[in-house]
Amino acid sequence: MDRRQLLFGASALGLATNLNLHHPLIAQVGNAVMGMRRLSDRERAGLRGPVKTCSDSREDETESMGEAEYSPDGRQLVRQLVWRMHPRLALIISYKWVYSYDGMGRLIGITRGYEKTDEVYDEQGKKIGIETGPLRSDVTDAFHYDEQGRTTRIRTVPPRPNQVGFTVMLGSGLLEVTEEGGSLSGGGSVTTRYNDDDQPIESLVRNSNGELLTKIDHNYANGLLVNETLVIVRENFEATRQLQEGFSEEEQRAMLARRKALLGQLVGLRMERSYVYDDDRVIRRLMQMGNFKQDETITYNEHGCRAGMVMIQTGSLEPGEPILRVQRSEFRYLYQYDSNGNWTERTKINTDLPGEPRTQRRTLAYY
């Protein structure tokens, strides 16, 4: 199947989305409270001690760098991410978020800045110029609070017709990208309600006409996320139209026929994830979407950091693929730590490719 056709069929219902870059530097599922105390942003990121800044860099398919800055009480103040695309670092994309709070310490605004830099080379690979420009800087968040102090975030996403080039096929990351508005290439909104512990409990994703596309629910027990579901309510026609551009009329007709054939199978499709814990650490994560299943088993070292992961995938996200196809992957993690117990170097090793380790390094500054 042609790659563009695959993306077209998936994107119609949010399975292909704009590349999401709005997640924290370190994603974590776990407690939002410690005893009766709510965790700070810094603690949620898995950092120990009075960390002021955390900078990281890694080299894999792309080279990326990130930095987060925290206040003395652990609130996130600034976050910045930079991507350098291989093979000749010809594209640099920079993303920066600045967080603002009210007198009660509640998040009231996020200011975003996005820039793109293209390094221009001649035929011999010598740099001959640099082109810069803004990149999608008009996504806005509005925060509202009820009488009990619970948060509702309304994210407004404008049409992004030029962002189709950042379309990716997603599996387990579909929920996060959809909840952040990544599937709204035609514009729309995401309304997210939070509980007393500032954990998201419901997100409603709507297109630019206000029609509900996707509903996401999160459920907790004793402060721990135990399961979450994503339900595709209707087809994302805007994403479909965006991907049609650039195709011939014959290709568009073939895609339309394919979309209609898939519609009955995909509308109403549920993605479900559940979590198993040892104390407050996730030791198993199960995900199912249609015929596709993913089972992750996680182990930890004496520092509480991930030491290993075994992932087994069965089936396919693409209708018509064999249901009994099984793929097993195993990863190991090696660390170096500073005196506060925060890791400064992490190496991820795929046991099938032991000669190709991926290393991420962090530099931390403390108050």
DSSP string, 112-143: EEEEEEEEEE-TTS-EEEEEEEE-S---EEEE
**pLDDT, tens digit, for every residue of 18-59?**
333 333 323 334 444 544 467 899 998 999 999 999 998 876
Average pLDDT, the chain: 77
Q: Is 277 in contact with 300 (CB distance < 8 Å)?
A: no
Split into its structural domains, the chain has a count of 1
Distance CA 204, CA 361 (A): 37
Any bridge partners for residue 296, and if so which? 285, 311
Query: For 254, what's the count of Cα atoms within 13 Å in the CB-facing half-sphere?
Result: 10
Distance CA 86, CA 17 (A): 22
Instruction: Give the 3-state DSSP-derived string for 294-358, with helices as H, strands as E and coil as C.
Output: EEEEEEECCCCCEEEEEEEEECCCCCCCCCCCEEEEEEEEEEEECCCCCEEEEEEEECCCCCCCE
Distance CA 223, CA 208 (A): 34
Burial class (CB in 10 A: 0-12, 13-18, 19+), 302: exposed
Domain extent at residue 223: 3-366
What angle, rounded to 10 degrees, do the helices at 237-244 and 249-266 form?
A: 160
Q: Is 90 in contact with 108 (CB distance < 8 Å)?
A: no
> Going residue by residue through the chain (367 aa), what tens digit of pLDDT does each one get?
333 333 333 333 333 333 333 333 233 344 445 444 678 999 989 999 999 999 988 765 556 788 999 999 999 999 998 877 655 555 677 888 899 898 888 888 888 777 666 655 556 655 555 555 555 557 788 888 888 888 899 999 888 765 543 333 445 577 888 888 877 877 899 999 999 988 999 999 998 899 999 999 999 998 899 999 999 888 765 555 555 555 677 776 776 666 655 555 566 678 899 999 998 899 999 999 878 899 999 999 999 999 999 999 988 766 555 555 788 999 999 999 999 999 999 999 999 999 889 999 999 999 9
Distance CA 106, CA 75 (A): 10
* Distance, CA of 156 to chain centre: 17
Q: Which amino acid is at 325?
A: R
CB-based contacts of 191, cutoff 8 Å, min separation 6: 152, 153, 154, 155, 203, 204, 206
